[in-house]
């Protein structure tokens, strides 16, 4: 008789974990959200002796519940000490598909075993629902989190952004000399911390010993009690509260970032971005082992008269959202039909340093309709800004057109 695993709720990261012996069972669970915790409602165990041949030994099955669903199921992966390459036939052993929402008064029916639940085409997770063009709301992205209220890229800034109600925070990450991923934008410690020197040439202990300066930093900025966070700390701070756009400062460190996201089970909490050249028709990212399991956002400049054509060229990337720079706002509107066809949301930065003509935060504070309003009219559905409080206030007061 297969041994049933014991479940333990973890209110910090909202995932249920069950130790299983491979060859005995694969476990799925439905959970119901309760204040501050998750309660197992029912479990389904499927025996398959083939698992012991595939994996061998004991591993951990992580079962994650998305925080805004009443009932949901997601068997994310089987963890092992070494990365596992899970092919399509193996997925059939691991994934159970359950209806996303079930009224409490109903029974809890389950469908058969299927790999569709983790297929990218199903796009059942909240982050894809948020980015879908069927969501008519404008997404707000807090650049380096809410640095107007706390040190940039700090845990306090992430908390402040979540409390403001932004949908995404953008954070920057890079590795220290001893391989720890920390959240800091600049190549050096000088502007934002009490320290100095190159981040990548400093030990984690040296980086951690510094204090963050208020807001965007600078020599005259006061010091705080905040420290440079690790990427892991930032993702845990954001989990269940706000989604995270990770800007990997050095592309060769992306495997470290992906490993951290996977280890935390945060695949559905983040989006990874990278530069592409549509006209090259060559997209190495599609061969990455994480592509399709972690949302990806291509970034590229809009070529005059070719935006719609370039969107067609990147269709293989199955992008839920694209970030572009432009030299004529009319070019954005010209891509609307293709954006609709592929269900791609359009992300624009209005940061003063973005150089999208004069569509920037400084002008938006004086003429929000002329900047943010004009972009939305051109089809933009996500705006990254340094003036999040003002932008959210403007959005909430704006009448639909």
Cα 270 from chain centroid (whole Å): 1
pLDDT in tens, 292-348: 999 999 999 999 999 999 999 999 999 999 999 999 999 999 999 999 999 999 999
10-residue mean pLDDT profile of the chain (401 residues): values are 29 27 31 33 36 36 30 31 37 34 30 31 69 96 98 98 97 98 98 98 98 97 97 95 97 97 94 97 95 96 98 97 97 97 98 95 98 98 98 90 58
pTM of this structure: 0.72
By three-state DSSP, how is residue 224 classified? coil
Q: Which candidate, 226, 180, 241, places its Cα nearest to that of 206? A: 180
Q: Measure the CA–CA gap between 354 and 361, rounded to whole angstroms.
A: 10
The pLDDT of residue 325: 97
- Where exactly does CATH 3.20.20.190 map onto the chain? 129-397
Q: Taking a C-beta distance cutoff of 8 angstroms, is the pair 248, 198 a contact? A: no
On the CB side of 350, CA atoms within 13 Å amount to 33
Share of the chain above pLDDT 90, in %: 67
**Whether 355 is catalytic:** no
Determine which one of 59, 180, 185, 296 is catalytic: 185
By three-state DSSP, how is residue 383 classified? strand
Q: Which candidate, 344, 304, 301, places its Cα nearest to that of 321? A: 344
By three-state DSSP, how is residue 301 classified? strand
pLDDT in tens, 139-176: 999 999 999 999 999 999 999 999 999 999 999 999 99
**Whether 143 is catalytic:** yes
Q: Which candidate, 231, 233, 243, places its Cα nearest to that of 68? A: 243
For 129-397, CATH number?
Answer: 3.20.20.190
Determine which one of 59, 143, 180, 296 is catalytic: 143
Q: Taking a C-beta distance cutoff of 8 angstroms, is the pair 42, 108 a contact? A: yes
Q: Containing H/E element for 394? A: helix 388-397
Q: What is the phi/psi pair of residue 183, to 5°?
A: -105, 105
Beta strand 270-275 with 296-301 is parallel
């Amino acid at each position: 008789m297969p041994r049933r695993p014991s479940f333990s709720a973890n209110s910090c990261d909202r995932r249920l974990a069950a130790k299983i012996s491979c060859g005995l069972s694969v476990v799925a669970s439905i959970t119901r959200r309760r204040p501050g915790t998750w309660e197992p409602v029912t479990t389904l165990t499927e025996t398959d002796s083939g698992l012991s041949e595939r994996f061998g030994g004991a591993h951990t099955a992580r079962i994650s519940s998305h925080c805004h669903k009443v009932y949901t199921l997601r068997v994310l992966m089987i963890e092992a000490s070494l990365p596992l390459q899970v092919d399509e036939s193996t997925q059939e052993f691991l994934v159970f598909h359950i209806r996303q929402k079930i009224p409490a008064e109903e029974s809890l029916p389950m469908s058969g075993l299927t790999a569709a639940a983790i297929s990218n085409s199903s796009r059942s997770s909240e982050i894809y629902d948020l980015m879908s063009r069927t969501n008519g709301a404008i997404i707000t992205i807090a650049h380096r989190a809410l640095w107007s209220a706390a040190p940039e890229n700090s845990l306090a800034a992430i908390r402040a952004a979540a409390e403001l109600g932004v949908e995404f925070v953008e954070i920057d990450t890079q590795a220290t000399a001893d391989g720890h991923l920390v959240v800091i934008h600049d190549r050096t410690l000088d502007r934002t911390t009490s320290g100095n020197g190159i981040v990548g040439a400093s030990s984690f202990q040296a980086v951690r010993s510094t204090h963050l300066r208020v807001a965007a930093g600078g020599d005259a900025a006061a010091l705080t009690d905040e420290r440079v966070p690790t990427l892991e700390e930032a993702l845990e701070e954001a989990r269940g509260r706000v989604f995270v756009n990770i800007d990997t400062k050095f592309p060769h460190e992306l495997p470290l970032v992906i490993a951290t996201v996977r280890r935390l089970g945060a695949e559905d909490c983040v989006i990874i971005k990278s530069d592409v050249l549509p006209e090259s028709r060559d997209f190495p990212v599609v061969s990455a082992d994480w592509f399709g399991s972690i949302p990806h956002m291509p970034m590229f400049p809009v070529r005059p008269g070719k935006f719609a054509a370039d969107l067609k060229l990147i269709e293989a990337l199955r992008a839920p959202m694209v970030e572009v720079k432009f030299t004529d706002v009319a070019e954005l509107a010209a891509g609307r039909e293709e954006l609709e066809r592929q269900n791609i949301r359009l992300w624009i930065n209005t940061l003063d340093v973005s150089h999208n003509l004069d569509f920037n935060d400084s002008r938006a504070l004086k003429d929000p309709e002329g900047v943010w309003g004009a972009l939305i009219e051109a089809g933009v559905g996500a705006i990254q800004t340094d003036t999040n409080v003002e932008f959210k206030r403007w959005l909430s007061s704006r009448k639909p057109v």
